[in-house]
Amino acid sequence: MHKKIELGMVSGLGRDASADIAAKLDALDAASRPGGTAVVERRPADGWPDGGAPAPAPSQTRADPNARKLHCFDLIRAFEQRALTGALLPCFISHTFIDELQAETTLPILNMMHALSEYLERHLPPPAAIGVLTSDYVRRNGLFERCLGARGYRLLYPDDAAVQAGVMEAVYGPRGIKRGGRLGEPLEQVAGACENLLRQGAQLCLPGITEIPLLAEPLLARGIALLDTNQIYAQYAHCALAGAAPAPARHFKIGVIGGVGPAATVDFMEKIIRNTPASRDQDHIKLVVEHNPQIPDRTANLIGAGADPTLALYAAAKRLQADDADIIAIPCNTAHAFVERIQPALSIPIVHMLNETVAYLRSHCAGKRRIGLLATSGTLASRVYHEAVAGDDLRLLLPDPAHQALVMRAIYGEAGVKAGFRAGQCRADLLRAMEHLARRGAEVIILACTELPLLVAQDEHCTIAGRAVAVLDPGEILARRCVALAQASAGA
């Protein structure tokens, strides 16, 4: 049984040209894939020539492509969300920014210039002379130079400004091809341009406007060697999608459930940036952050009657999943008490900060068994760290009630870190709690609330109360792990 293939046609770029490509693709599929014919989706575009707006005048040769970029992206994104197989882009102007579009989607966009390059190399290899009929904008952009000239082809364009103006008039004029004109003046103008190219030595004429192939039959009847680029594109799509569309190259993306708390989220992002080897902006890792400070307080739920944050955390994770994140990081220790509830319903992994911290502890603090734990009362009550170290020869040391109260005040107090303080009483409270654990024999202290490292940074060679203590920041460890996963993906 043939696999059903669904393609999205980015319309609004040329109604008749889109229909021509779709019809040719349908004919190819009908001949070779009965029962599995490609379904071409077309969407009207209000404000575009296909949606009723007037076609651009031939004099508009310096049109701003930005609106076209946004239009194409919106349609391609919609196709991606519907899990179509790929996208057809029936417009040469839009191919001047196809790389920008492809960089922002996982959906394969079938590249017309690749189709033409492959066809020409099979049938007319370089250094053949190719006559190009295209718009002023595409010619000025150098699209054909990048895609064909770089392969050794000699490119020719109309050498008479009046002839080039005739090409623009034939396509965009009031009686032009975009208006339904096929014979008469549009045909004569395109034929004249082809003859100009052939006189210059072109071995064939290559349309760089998808409306021009609509005149292929009468031009060929006159003996003019004109390629039907729409047919070539349809054939390319048919062959490329005979199995499954190849996934385009994409960049790894880290999803972050933020706002738990806000300052810790910003700190975590800074740690990802700091731990990423980079010499330019483009070397850094993609991040998408669902920053929602309205997620119910995790500690209030675990030790009292506070609202359950499970659904809010799940909703945030689903939004990150929908935004193509590869992994999810939650820079909140207490929130990990809820991870087991939501992970089974997700298709991407949550990088478990507590498990990563324990793994780091084993590899970097080997031989140290007495582990002090400074965390919210909710984290302690949930025993998530106890579960993470289960089976290891590790002993967790928790503060006594008085020093736990200092930890909570450092985090939640009026002068605490969640209130925006970074020094003063909150830091003094934290240091007192750390000294308390050090005196009880802690060899490692885990700052198991992502706000606490805003007061005291990770230091594996710290001296506390006259004792050597390794101070670990789970947020730092999580950031390093996320960077490592991104780098491993890039090297795969």
For the annotated catalytic residues, the residue numbers are 332, 449
H runs (alpha helix) in 202-351: 216-221, 229-240, 262-274, 298-303, 310-322, 339-342
Radius of gyration over alpha carbons of the chain, in Å?
Answer: 31
Selection from 286, 295, 294, 296 nearest residue 255 by Cα = 286
Q: How far is CA 234 from CA 43, 219, 239, in A?
A: 19, 20, 9
Residue for token digits 């009362």? Answer: 377
Whether omega for the bond prior to residue 127 falls within 30 degrees of 0, making it cis, is: yes
Provide the sign of the torsion angle of the four alpha carbons 82, 47, 228, 220, taken in this order: positive
CA–CA–CA angle 426, 430, 434 (5° rounding): 170
Q: Give the dihedral of Cα atoms 27, 29, 34, 38; nearest 10 deg.
A: -110
Q: How far is CA 238 from CA 56, 91, 211, 247, 413, in A?
A: 31, 18, 20, 16, 65
Q: How far is CA 10 from CA 85, 91, 338, in A?
A: 13, 9, 42
Q: What is the DSSP letter of 383?
A: T
Specify the pairing of strand 467-472 against strand 459-464: antiparallel
The Cα–Cα gap between 237 and 5 comes to 11
Provide the sign of the torsion angle of the four alpha carbons 296, 297, 303, 306, taken in this order: negative
- Please name the residues in contact with 280: beta carbons below 8 A apart, sequence gap of 6 or more: none
Rounded (to 5) percent helix, strand, coil in the chain:
50, 15, 35
The Cα–Cα gap between 62 and 122 comes to 34
